[in-house]
Amino acid sequence: MIDYFCFVIKKETMLQRIRQIIGRSTEDKFERFPALFEREILVAREARRILVFDEAKNMVTDIDGIRVECLKGKRIFPRTHVEQTVSVIAKIQELGGDLISDYDDYSTITNWHRKIPTKRGIVETTFGDFLAGKHNDLGDKVFLKTIVKDFSSVCVRKNGEWVYEKTGVPIAKRVKKAVGVMVSPVVKIARDDDYIEREWRNFIIDDEPFTMNNYWTHEPLEEGYVIDWIRAKAAELKGIMPSCYCMDVMEYEADGGLEMDLVELNPPIATGADLIPLAHNIFGVPFEDGYLRRARRQGLSVQKRAEASLGE
């Protein structure tokens, strides 16, 4: 279904690092490379389904470091950050590769909220208009995020000024006024226990859920009604969204009951750097269970969990 993951490097130091990882046996991987993006690289490497795009040299190389001249007939899944999506898409297209998601798809998915309603309701505006009070009807506490990933936080209005809920620091200088933002009511996400929020990251590939995992622990989703909700949502979005995207879903407390809702959709090319279950499923490399157990026990943030696993 997917022939290669393609990682992108911008700097020579990163290239060396990726080469180091590719060249290293997998046994000592967790000792030296806790970062989760690198775990994805290791999985693709183990399956020998890895390409590396050097943005500075405008060159794609394979697992042996040999320059790739043609990708015709190969389906490529770039794995990178927002800043590098344009260049990697252009390069794969130049080499004739079949992209899991192209630039048009990227734009459609980034603006998903314009086509797909949510239960809690999301308002699109500019940061400037928000600060100027054009959406006062939303109250003094909102979830605010930029449409292009840069900023997201629960914000509260104190003495007429919008501040981060947690720190009380004003947000006015954090984002340029012309930038597009999404504003929504704050919801209380349900929890499995003190640490684990009921939020799932789901990869929709060719219009079907391919992986469904808890967002925090990565554990595979097993609850039938949640799986059914995600399947039904993917079916509903068929033809409205491109066929491949990442769908984050949450369950939150509402009127004494629970509601399911979309958190957001993300372009698969630039979704996070922690898609371990996805990488394992795509390349058929067995999943390391111990990682999930540690994650659950510690209930830490994704990066913290990876760091903590080094200490054990």
Ligand X SMILES: Nc1ncnc2c1ncn2[C@@H]1O[C@H](COP(=O)(O)OP(=O)(O)OP(=O)(O)O)[C@@H](O)[C@H]1O
- Interface residues with ligand X (CB under 6 A) are 120, 143, 145, 149, 152, 184, 186-187, 189, 199, 248, 263-264
Q: Which residues contact 265 (CB under 8 A, 6 or more apart)?
A: 109, 112, 116, 241, 245, 246, 247, 248
Q: Smallest gap, in angstroms, from Cβ of residue 83 to ligand X? A: 14
Q: Smallest gap, in angstroms, from Cβ of residue 123 to ligand X? A: 11
Collapsing DSSP states into helix, strand and coil, what is residue 30? helix
Q: Smallest gap, in angstroms, from Cβ of residue 45 to ligand X? A: 26
Q: Pairing between strand 98-99 and 75-79? A: parallel
**Sign of the torsion formed by the C-alpha atoms of 162, 168, 171 and 173:** positive
Q: Smallest gap, in angstroms, from Cβ of residue 65 to ligand X? A: 32
Q: For the chain, how big is the Rg over CA atoms in Å?
A: 20
Q: Smallest gap, in angstroms, from Cβ of residue 94 to ligand X? A: 30
Q: 61 or 101, CB closer to ligand X?
A: 101
Q: How far apart are CA 158 and CA 2, in angstroms?
A: 50
Please report the beta strands in 105-187, taking only residues with DSSP state E, as ranges in sequence order. 123-126, 141-146, 152-158, 161-164, 180-185
Q: How far apart are CA 60 and CA 40, in angstroms?
A: 18
